Amino acid sequence: MSKPPKNAAWGGRFALGPSEIMQKINVSLDIDKRLYAQDIAASLAHAAMLARRKIISPEDGEAIARGLVQIKNEIETGLFPFRAEHEDIHLNIEARLAEIAGPAAGRLHTARSRNDQVATDFRLWVRDAVDRLDARTRDLQAALLDRAERHAATIMPGFTHMQPAQPVTFGHHLMAYVEMLGRDRGRFKDCRARANESPLGAAALAGTSFPIDRDATARDLGFDRPAANSMDAVSDRDFALEFLAAAAIAGLHLSRFAEEIVLWSAPNFGFVALSDAFTTGSSIMPQKRNPDAAELVRAKTGRLNGDLVVLLTVMKGLALTYAKDLQEDKAPVFDAADTLELCLAATAGMVLDLRVDEAAMRAAAAAGFSTATDLADWLVRVLDLPFREAHHRAGALVKRAETLGCDLAGLPLAEMQKVEPRVTADVFAVLSVEKSVASRASFGGTAPAEVRKAIAAARKRFL
């Protein structure tokens, strides 16, 4: 009988084929080798604790520590011999440690499982990623604040339903994103706080019979405390899900701003322009300047959303405690961290690069009867009309101005008095966009003086 072909429908109870395919699906080294620094830090803390507790000898502890330091240097100088047959970064480091430290290396895994080892490394990595992203987000806030301060009194149209609504200032508009980013930083801070519990010492799932000191290893690694339940410690990935949720929301905010840059830089808006540093041309249309950096920031939000959905889907059916499914937890988190960090840097670059056409913004703010609300407010304040009635009269005046082809400031007093006889010439004082913006002096409003106060307060809160 002839031998079945390799991997022919997994014939003959897998007939020689699965080992190679199993290795391909099982190996995670290309992804998780990014955890090398965290893995070495956690191993150093674990070995030091074992030696202090006399679970291993001081000599073995020192040999392990020397070997781990050498391995870290080898990795960072490109000399480390990564081997796929060792499956992941943890076993690669362990195998190399055995070559360097000999039999002492075999004692490192005392009172530890790969389950708590991986969970510890991953928490440490996420904690570091949060710190990097916080710094990037702070940089973007600083760029927005500087630009907002420069344009605290630059008038532009505010929109609802993408229709001109009321005049605002460009500085006020930018400050909205400063607030969004502040909430993003708060979400990452909360994520970091909940992630900052050490799984180390939970072992496979049940704890260990060795007299370890989990408080000491938690403290040495900068954790607030050891995780309270060994089963939860090795199976929990809430911290990764929170990280991905925070990243997705932050990406959403960046995408909204990117969309506005795309709109504002289009000729039919003409509010801003980006330099060659953040635009590209067309292969066929020589006049084109495409805001590709903004478009790519907008698009990459989809990756951040997808990364969150990936891990939610991985986790949704897992019984306690560990399952190999959890090997798939790192790729979406690494991708999200890289993507968001790049998008934050690109957005900060665009903010600093923007050239603002103040005249175009002001002209657009004056169009579309944007001071109609100011007219209604005047009717309430001066003529004591109920606001709903004033709103109706102001709407009628807008309609009359449309018919005559003028704006509200150009509507003759006589025409106004046909709608409301008590209107006086004083009404024209509130119908300019400058007066409209200046009058919005309530806390959080768009009046330039309020915008400047908000900028000063935000510098104290965020920078």
Write the single-letter amino acid at 227.
A
Q: Which residue has the tokens 């106060």?
A: 453
CA 137 to chain centre: 8
Q: Can you point out the beta strands (E) in 33-138? A: none
Token pair belonging to 69: 């330091």
Determine which one of 2, 19, 161, 442 is catalytic: 161
Which residues have a Cβ under 8 Å from the Cβ of 273 and sit 6 or more positions away? 265, 289, 354, 355, 357
CB atoms within 10 A of CB 414: 8
The amino acid present at 313, given as its one-letter code, is T
Q: What is the CA radius of gyration of the chain?
A: 31
Q: Tokens for 224?
A: 């607030």
Locate 130 and state its tokens. 């949060």
Report DSSP state, residue 3.
P
Q: How far apart are CA 309 and CA 324, in angstroms?
A: 18
The sign of the CA dihedral 19, 20, 24, 25 is: negative
Catalytic residue among 151, 173, 265, 282: 282
Burial readout 151-177 (b: 16 or more C-beta within 10 A, e: otherwise): bbbbbbbbbeeeebebbbbbbbbbbeb
207 torsion bin: left (phi>0), alpha (psi -120 to 50), beta (else): left
Please state, in angstroms and rounded to a whole number, the distance separating the CA atoms of residues 239 and 223. 14
Pick left, alpha or beta for residue 220 (phi over 0 → left; psi -120 to 50 → alpha; otherwise beta): alpha
Catalytic annotation present for 161? yes
**Amino acid identity, position 140:** L
Identify which of 260, 388, 444, 445 has the alpha carbon closest to the alpha carbon of residue 436.
445
Mapped onto helix, strand or coil, the DSSP state of residue 169 is: strand
Taking phi over 0 as left and psi of -120 to 50 as alpha, with beta for the rest, 222 belongs to left
Where do we find the tokens 């209604």? 376
What are the residue numbers of the active site? Answer: 161, 282
